[in-house]
């Protein structure tokens, strides 16, 4: 069994997205795979449990837990021995990657983020380095090949994935938290990624064709504009953010139930609501079907996962 440790020199590099996409790639090709998040020994890694939930939501069967202590991860790796399953482990923030990989008998995949100018110095992981992968490479398309060459000069390159706007998009739940919004109706899709935040036009006449231009969308409109709200329903809104303090009409809530559209009440004006969401793209988390689909597609196009099946520490 190959044991891979997905690590990074800096927080927020994209370890979870790489681990999830790699696991999906192997699973869809018919290989047995298990992916888990290693928990930190102490505080300072606030996203560990969320990452475990992301791995637990992957659409293929996995046995066992999705979060493990380092000792439990070592026991898991040793228990499976030379079996056929690939074990993918995401490293905790701030861990000594080389020491952890040696303890696990793992091959390290180091994740870098951004363009070559943003890449940090690589940590010393001894002889456990299997390869480097760069994500969110923020360079124009003609310069992507040069970025790959820069990556290959640093070590074995597994791929360089270009920046993708959908991977920065917030979920409905993140939007609700950013606004401190009241959830008037939860259709069960709070983890769903919203690729577009769409402010309703002034007139309902132009609403439906305007809304239909945007897939996976939140529509922001005033709670006292039922004409615009109904236009948003007809235009395929996945979520409504209603601006104002009054409760929405009962017909609107009933329609949301019928069409499974989440309603958030922001208790702010439209301008204040939009202002409160301006920085949300800077801190979104990886998760949800849309981000997984897009990350897996980027992985298929720009990364080499074939080496994984034979990966083993030196």
Structural domain containing residue 235 = 170-282
HSE-CB of 147 using CA atoms within 13 angstroms = 28
Can you give the CATH number for the domain in which 194 is found?
A: 3.40.1390.20
How far apart are the C-alpha atoms of 280 and 160, rounded to whole Å? Answer: 25
How far apart are the C-alpha atoms of 60 and 38, rounded to whole Å? Answer: 20
Across the strands, what pairs with 236?
Answer: none
Residue-wise pLDDT for 260-313, tens only, equals: 999 999 999 999 999 999 999 988 999 999 999 999 999 999 988 777 666 544
Residues 217 and 177 in one domain: yes
Residue-wise pLDDT for 2-61, tens only, equals: 899 999 989 889 999 999 999 999 999 888 899 999 999 877 788 899 999 999 999 987
Q: How high is the pLDDT of residue 206?
A: 72
Residues 117 and 156 in one domain: yes
Q: How high is the pLDDT of residue 314?
A: 39
Instruction: Say which residue the tokens 């928990």 belong to.
Output: 39
Residues 57 and 129 in one domain: yes
How far apart are the C-alpha atoms of 258 and 175, rounded to whole Å? Answer: 22
Residues 85 and 135 in one domain: yes
| 271 SS3 class | helix
Residues 62 and 211 in one domain: no
| 157 SS3 class | strand
Instruction: Give the pTM.
Output: 0.89
Residues 260 and 299 in one domain: no
Q: How high is the pLDDT of residue 81?
A: 62
How far apart are the C-alpha atoms of 189 and 239, rounded to whole Å? Answer: 9
Residues 196 and 296 in one domain: no
Angstrom distances, CA of residue 4 to CA of 147, 174, 292, 307: 24, 30, 20, 11
Residues 257 and 202 in one domain: yes
Q: How high is the pLDDT of residue 310?
A: 60
How far apart are the C-alpha atoms of 86 and 157, rounded to whole Å? Answer: 20
Q: How high is the pLDDT of residue 313?
A: 43
HSE-CB of 76 using CA atoms within 13 angstroms = 26
Residues 64 and 123 in one domain: yes
CA-based nearest residue to 6, from 103, 112, 81: 112
Angstrom distances, CA of residue 257 to CA of 14, 90, 184, 185, 249: 36, 38, 10, 7, 13
CA-based nearest residue to 84, from 1, 7, 180: 1
Residue-wise pLDDT for 131-142, tens only, equals: 999 999 988 888
Where b means 16+ CB within 10 Å and e means fewer, 145-161 reads: eebbebbeeeeebbbbb
Q: Which of the 8 DSSP states describes residue 247?
A: P
Q: How many domains does the chain have?
A: 2
Per cent of the chain over pLDDT 70 is 96
How far apart are the C-alpha atoms of 207 and 193, rounded to whole Å? Answer: 22
Residue-wise pLDDT for 45-103, tens only, equals: 888 999 999 999 999 878 888 999 999 999 998 886 666 789 999 999 989 999 999 99
Residues 154 and 202 in one domain: no
161 alpha-carbon distance from chain centroid? 14
Residues 15 and 115 in one domain: yes
Can you give the CATH number for the domain in which 147 is found?
A: 3.40.50.300
Q: For residue 96, what are the contacts with CB-CB under 8 A and spacing of at least 6?
A: none
Residue-wise pLDDT for 127-168, tens only, equals: 889 999 999 998 888 888 999 999 999 999 999 999 999 999
Residues 104 and 15 in one domain: yes
């Amino acid at each position: 069994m190959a044991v891979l440790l997905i690590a990074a020199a800096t927080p927020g590099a994209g370890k979870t997205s790489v681990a999830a996409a790699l696991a999906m790639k192997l699973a869809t090709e018919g290989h047995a795979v298990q992916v888990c998040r290693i928990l930190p020994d102490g505080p300072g890694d606030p996203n560990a449990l969320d990452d475990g939930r992301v791995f637990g939501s992957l659409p293929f069967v996995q046995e066992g837990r999705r979060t493990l202590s380092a000792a439990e991860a070592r026991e898991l790796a040793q228990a499976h021995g030379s079996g056929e399953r690939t074990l993918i482990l995401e490293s905790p923030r701030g861990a000594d990657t080389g020491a952890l990989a040696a303890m696990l008998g793992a091959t390290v995949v180091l994740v870098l983020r951004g363009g070559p100018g943003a890449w940090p110095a690589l940590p010393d992981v001894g002889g456990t380095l299997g390869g480097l992968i760069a994500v969110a490479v923020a360079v124009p398309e003609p310069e992507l090949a040069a970025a790959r060459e820069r990556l290959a000069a640093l070590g074995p390159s597994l791929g360089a994935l270009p920046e993708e706007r959908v991977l920065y998009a917030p979920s409905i739940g993140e939007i609700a938290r950013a606004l401190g919004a009241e959830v008037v109706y939860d259709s069960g899709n709070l983890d769903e990624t919203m690729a577009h935040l769409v402010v309703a036009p002034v007139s309902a006449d132009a609403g439906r064709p305007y809304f239909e231009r945007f897939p996976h969308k939140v529509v922001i409109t005033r709670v006292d504009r039922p004409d615009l709200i109904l236009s948003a329903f007809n235009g395929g809104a996945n979520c409504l953010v209603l601006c104002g303090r009054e409760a929405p009409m009962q017909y609107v809530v009933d329609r949301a139930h019928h069409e499974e559209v989440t309603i958030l009440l922001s208790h702010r004006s439209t301008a204040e609501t939009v202002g409160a969401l301006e920085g949300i793209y800077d801190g979104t988390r990886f998760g949800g079907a849309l981000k997984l689909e897009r990350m897996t597609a980027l992985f298929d196009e720009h990364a080499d996962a074939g080496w994984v099946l034979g990966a083993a520490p030196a």
